[in-house]
Amino acid sequence: MTAGSANPLPALWPALAAMTALQGIVAMALFAPGVLAPRLGLGEGMIALFSASCFGVGMVGALWGGALVRRFGSFGVASLCMAAVIASMALGASGATVALGLAGLVLGLAFGPETPASSALLGRLARPEQRPLIFSIRQTGNQLGAIVASLTLPTLALADPRLGYLAVVAVAAVALGAFLMLRGRYDGLTRASAGAMDARAAWALLRQDRQIGALAAISVPFSAMQLTLNVFLVSYLVGTLGLGHVTAGLLLGAAQAGGLVGRLSWGALATSLGAARPVLVGLGVAMGACAAAAALLPAGPSPWTVAAVAVPFGLTASGWNGVFLAEVARCAPPGRMAEATGAVLTASYAGLFCGPLLISGLAAAGGLRLAYGVVGLCCCLAAFWMMIRK
């Protein structure tokens, strides 16, 4: 049933739930090494290796997301993503240093294509006026997965750190079965609508369309800031501020709860204003200010003090994606939603790829306080550039 049918809602909402779950499970896998790092003895360099490996492969996967959707359909791609999550977490559970780098590479095979696959399907099923809300709801999967990982994996790690990885494997296996069952109902829609796009055509689109190009540019520091919060917060709270591992996990969960509210709230605000640009500018300034506040926290703070910073930090640095993708969908050329999403996300993932390397280098030079401050400044500068750009 398509968006043009008389009653699209029965087809839309199950697909939305499934695609939200897809992002949530990929997020759980992405967060797992960072959340488990204190128990596993992983330093910032190893977390950066995992993240950079994932995002490097994810850049390529996002660029070719439209071609994969055309070949396999959205739920076919979702099933392949779950298989990649299972393989990645199994490698991580082995405990070997080399295996963790390989786990990041394999997870990138899921991280890259999952958003273009979701955009292609939900863009077909949702009416244009529904898209800001639908895309914002779908993007809450990242926060839901992060919250689940933050609240459960540290507790499992008390018994055996490998249990955290194996729990993600179990959840992904259940989702794989569900996605395979849904293929027959939905995949005909996206096999017919998504198309391939090579790297040259993607960069041409970013250069020629000023709106899409601007969105791609501002997403680079925003993505790096989101990663600085999500992947390194537990290590920062434990190693720099001296908090307990489980407490740090709870605080990361609180930040992700803020992001969950933000993804819905900023989408609603952009819809009421009729424009995403002022919302994105404001978010850039706000997340930069929150990063500065995090960098200035004293050692041994009260958890409530940290929560007062972490929640608005998550509200902004983890809350911008839904309105961002809805705006990409609005600006996309007709019939090329999956391809335009993949092209813009390639720039976003460049921030995610370079972010771990930058943060690791800054942490080695002056600690994670310096990393939070520098990346926050970059977000403020990006917001200022977008504000003055005509």
pLDDT for res 172: 97
Would the pLDDT of 340 be above 80?
A: no
If one counts the domains in the chain, the total is 1
Report the alpha-carbon distance of residue 164 to residue 167 in Å, rounded: 5
Does residue 2 form part of some domain?
Answer: no
Report the alpha-carbon distance of residue 175 to residue 354 in Å, rounded: 31
302's tokens: 């009260």
Give residue 226's identity as a one-letter amino acid code: Q
We report the CATH number of the domain holding residue 342 as 1.20.1250.20
Q: Is residue 99 assigned to a domain?
A: yes
Is residue 365 included in any domain, yes or no? yes
% of the chain with per-residue pLDDT over 70? 91
Identify which has the larger pLDDT, 251 or 129. Answer: 251
Burial of 139 (0-12, 13-18, 19+ CB in 10 A): buried
216 burial via Cβ count (<10 Å: 0-12, 13-18, 19+): buried
- Assigned domain for 240 exists: yes
Burial class (CB in 10 A: 0-12, 13-18, 19+), 180: middle
Report which DSSP code applies to 250. H
Predicted local distance difference test score (pLDDT) of residue 200: 64
- Compare 81 and 129 and report the one with higher pLDDT: 81
Give the separation between CA 127 and CA 136, rounded to whole angstroms. 14
**Residues near 239 by Cβ (< 8 Å), separated by ≥ 6?**
38, 368
Residue at 177: amino acid letter: G
What is the pLDDT, as a whole number, of residue 25?
A: 96
Inside any domain, residue 4? no
Q: Which pTM does this prediction carry?
A: 0.75
Q: Which of 196, 42, 15, 171 is nearest to 104 (CA)?
A: 42
Here the tokens at position 245 are: 């591992």
Mean pLDDT of 186-207: 66
244: left (phi over 0), alpha (psi -120 to 50) or beta: beta
Give pLDDT, residue 192.
59
Q: What's the pLDDT tens digit per position in 168-177? A: 999 999 999 9
Q: Which residues contact 98 (CB under 8 A, 6 or more apart)?
A: none
What phi, psi does 174 have (nearest 5°)? Answer: -65, -45
380 in a domain, yes or no? yes
Q: Tokens 């992060």 identify what position?
A: 146
Q: What is the mean pLDDT of residues 358-380?
A: 89
The residue with tokens 């017919």 is 192
Range of the structural domain that residue 285 is part of? 9-388
Does 339 reside within a domain? yes
**H helices, E strands: number in the chain:** 15, 0
70-103 per-position pLDDT tens digit: 888 899 999 999 999 999 999 988 877 788 889 9
CA dihedral angle for residue 161, residue 166, residue 168, residue 170, rounded to 10 degrees: -160
187-214: buried (b, 16+ CB within 10 Å) or exposed (e) per residue? bebbbebbeebeeeebbebbeebeebbb
